[in-house]
Amino acid sequence: MTTQPRKTYEEMRALADEFLKERRLGIFATGRRDGSPQLTVLAYRFDGKEVVINTGSETAKVKNIRKRPRVSLAVSDGPRCVVVYGEARLLHGAAAEVLAGGPVSSGRQGGAPTLIVFTPETYRWARLEGCCR
């Protein structure tokens, strides 16, 4: 019986990126004032470089990011899971529309339409081999 060689970190990160691109729902975490996590199930978009989340300016996640911009997003599909960490920035108005390629809506969220944007800096994954290609 032969074993396959282990994939490099770069190969695994490419699999993780593909996994994130193919999915739309995740669990987003920000930090509350008392240090406890604020978790939100939400839709996101990942273009291979940045995670973009559409929301309203009066949500708890936006208020938390204003004070503590470190965030994470966990995306799972059965036993497969990817978690990414980064530092978020908030975009409103014209800047949000440029990134979104058109008008931005806050949906049912309170406040002005807001985009949460972050570039994954750190990755964690489980059982990704063979999932995406």
Residue in 62, 60, 50, 58 with CA at minimum distance from that of residue 100: 50
Burial class (CB in 10 A: 0-12, 13-18, 19+), 64: buried
Predicted TM-score (pTM) of this structure: 0.91
Q: What is the DSSP letter of 103?
A: -
Q: Which residue has the tokens 């944007």?
A: 117
Q: What is the pLDDT along the chain (133 residues), one digit of tens a residue?
A: 567 788 899 999 999 999 999 999 999 999 999 999 999 999 999 999 999 999 999 999 999 999 999 999 999 999 999 999 999 999 998 899 898 888 888 888 889 999 999 999 999 999 987 666 5
Hey, how many other C-beta atoms are within 10 angstroms of the C-beta on 62? 22
Q: Is 3.90.950.10 the CATH classification of the domain at 9-123?
A: no
Q: Which amino acid makes up residue 95?
A: A
55 in Cβ contact with 61 (< 8 Å) = yes
